[in-house]
Amino acid sequence: MQVAEIIRKKLTVALEPDQLDVIDESHLHAGHAGAREGGQSHFRLLVVSGAFEGLSRVARQRLVNDVLREELSGPIHALAMKTMTPEEAG
């Protein structure tokens, strides 16, 4: 299974997002530290979920990191994210 698919599946189950964009940006980091042949190491996320209600930006990111803990200690080298509640997303 592709890393992006794993990310999508885990976040969908854990956060039931209204919107989830998983973008593989590995091609932008070819030749840099942490880049793997074949990509799947650098990702950008947009997650809109009611699970973020009442949480600070840092707490939201920690929640996502906890869900993806296994991948962050393995194939994911870099993970950028934007986390919003449905109200914030408009």
Asked if residue 45 has pLDDT above 80, the reply is: yes
Asked if residue 81 has pLDDT above 90, the reply is: yes
Contact of 68 with 79, CB cutoff 8 Å = yes
Q: How far apart are CA 29 and CA 46, in angstroms?
A: 20
Q: Please give the CATH number for the structural domain made up of 3-89.
A: 3.30.300.90
Asked if residue 30 has pLDDT above 60, the reply is: no
Q: Measuring CA to CA, which residue among 77, 81, 80 is closest to residue 31?
A: 77
How confident is residue 6, by pLDDT bands cut at 50, 70 and 90?
very high
For strands 19-24 and 42-48, give the pairing: antiparallel
Rounded to two decimals, the pTM is: 0.85
Task: Give the mean pLDDT of 59-85.
Answer: 95
Contacts of residue 75, defined as CB under 8 A and 6 or more positions apart, other chains included, come to 3, 36, 40, 41
Domain boundaries, the chain: 3-89
Lookup: tokens for 46: 């947009």
